């Protein structure tokens, strides 16, 4: 099979874009003195960023290190994330802000996913140990209300969301692949089965959440939720060899393109779309069909050509945010790594 797709953007062009975006982040969205990052350019709700944008940036910098193995692009982001660390009961985890604040299960999952990717690449023990610590805290967010699943927010247990269950599956399965400890696979399958039972649509994309109070479903659909479940199925296929998971992954991939790619564009949230790309990248590594990725490649070019201002910041919103810059940075880094275009 030809591993190229018809497109104009070469790896060197992606690398050029990456360099521009990364420089903008460091020049305009970082406080070098404090070693912290800003939420956006302009007026801020707080002096520094919430944790969520750093969840995006840590993954983006991991992908950049993959392209540039002798660099330490993750290091300043890890240092910033450490400012959000809390040892509060029932287990250590990261808060949503540097001052005492709520802890979100999904924020911590995104960090663990990036750290596990970094561990697989570098074998640095600190990435694995921190991921195991996060996993321990994540389990405190699981109970049998609504039949199982993890909450979204530690101090307001009002919903269980795909965004706090899909990535939990990924953390668990990656830990299993590394350690071969059965408890991780058991957790992954437990949460996988619950998420499919309660939050998967017949169409093959995933809904937002289920309410604890009345069991009502929040029927919103976001690219990142479907992305984590696409990736989860690929991982389960790789671990078990059971082709039902590969069949499901292909079904989800086809459904996601049909559902989200409208009028030749994806929804405007770059980081959500980066997480969707992770799922497609995982599937590509198994089935080697580059055509599945063509709509994402095309959308990434559309963003660069149509949603870039005179300072090379990306996004339709007036106030440019760290979250969006990090999201599109990850997309370009992953596409550079895949190098699917005919050059």
Place of tokens 């982001």: 77
Q: How confident is the model at residue 7, as a pLDDT?
A: 62
- Among the four given CATH numbers 1.50.10.20, 2.40.10.10, 3.30.470.30, 3.30.479.30, the one describing domain 11-338: 1.50.10.20
Q: Which two tokens stand for residue 163?
A: 């965004």
CA-to-CA distance for 332 and 330, rounded, in angstroms?
A: 6
Element (H or E) spanning 271, and its range?
helix 270-287
Q: How confident is the model at residue 342, as a pLDDT?
A: 58
Series of mean pLDDT values for 10-residue runs along the chain (343 residues): 68 97 98 97 90 98 96 97 98 98 98 98 98 98 98 98 98 98 98 98 98 98 98 98 98 98 97 98 97 97 97 94 98 96 60
Note if the pTM is more than 0.75: yes
- Spatial neighbors of 78 by CB under 8 A, at least 6 apart, are 58
> Exposure of 335 by Cβ count < 10 A (0-12 exposed, 13-18 middle, 19+ buried)?
buried
Q: How confident is the model at residue 44, as a pLDDT?
A: 81
Q: Where are the domains of the chain?
A: 11-338
Q: How confident is the model at residue 343, as a pLDDT?
A: 45
């Amino acid at each position: 099979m030809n591993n190229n797709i018809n497109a104009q953007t070469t790896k060197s062009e992606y690398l050029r874009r990456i360099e521009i975006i990364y420089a903008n982040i460091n020049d305009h969205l970082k406080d070098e003195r404090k070693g912290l990052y800003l939420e956006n350019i302009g007026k801020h709700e707080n002096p520094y960023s919430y944790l969520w944008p750093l969840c995006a940036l840590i993954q983006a910098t991991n992908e950049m290190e993959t392209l540039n193995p002798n660099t330490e692009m993750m290091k300043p982001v890890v240092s910033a994330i450490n400012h959000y660390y809390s040892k509060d009961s029932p287990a250590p985890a990261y808060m949503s802000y540097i001052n005492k604040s709520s802890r979100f299960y999904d924020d911590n999952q995104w960090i663990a996913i990036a750290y596990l990717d970094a561990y697989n690449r570098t074998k640095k023990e600190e990435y694995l140990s921190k991921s195991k610590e996060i996993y321990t805290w994540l389990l405190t967010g699981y109970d049998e209300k609504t039949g199982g699943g993890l909450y979204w927010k530690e101090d307001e247990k009002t919903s269980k969301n795909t965004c706090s269950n899909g990535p939990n599956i990924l953390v668990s399965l990656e830990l299993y692949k590394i350690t071969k400890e059965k408890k991780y696979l058991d957790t992954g399958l437990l949460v996988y089965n619950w998420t499919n039972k309660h939050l998967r649509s017949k169409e093959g994309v995933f809904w937002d959440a289920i309410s604890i109070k009345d069991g009502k479903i929040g029927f919103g659909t976001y690219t990142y939720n479907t992305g984590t479940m696409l990736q989860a199925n690929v991982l389960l296929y790789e671990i078990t060899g059971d082709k039902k998971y590969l069949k499901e992954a292909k079904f989800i991939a086809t459904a996601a393109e049909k559902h989200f790619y409208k009028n030749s564009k994806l929804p405007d949230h770059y980081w959500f779309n980066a997480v969707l790309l992770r799922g497609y990248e995982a599937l590509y590594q198994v089935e080697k069909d580059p055509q599945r990725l063509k709509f994402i490649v095309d959308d990434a070019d559309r963003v660069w050509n149509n949603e870039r201002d005179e300072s090379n910041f990306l996004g339709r919103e007036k106030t440019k945010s760290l979250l969006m810059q990090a999201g599109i940075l990850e997309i370009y880094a992953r596409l550079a790594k895949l190098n699917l275009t005919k050059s």
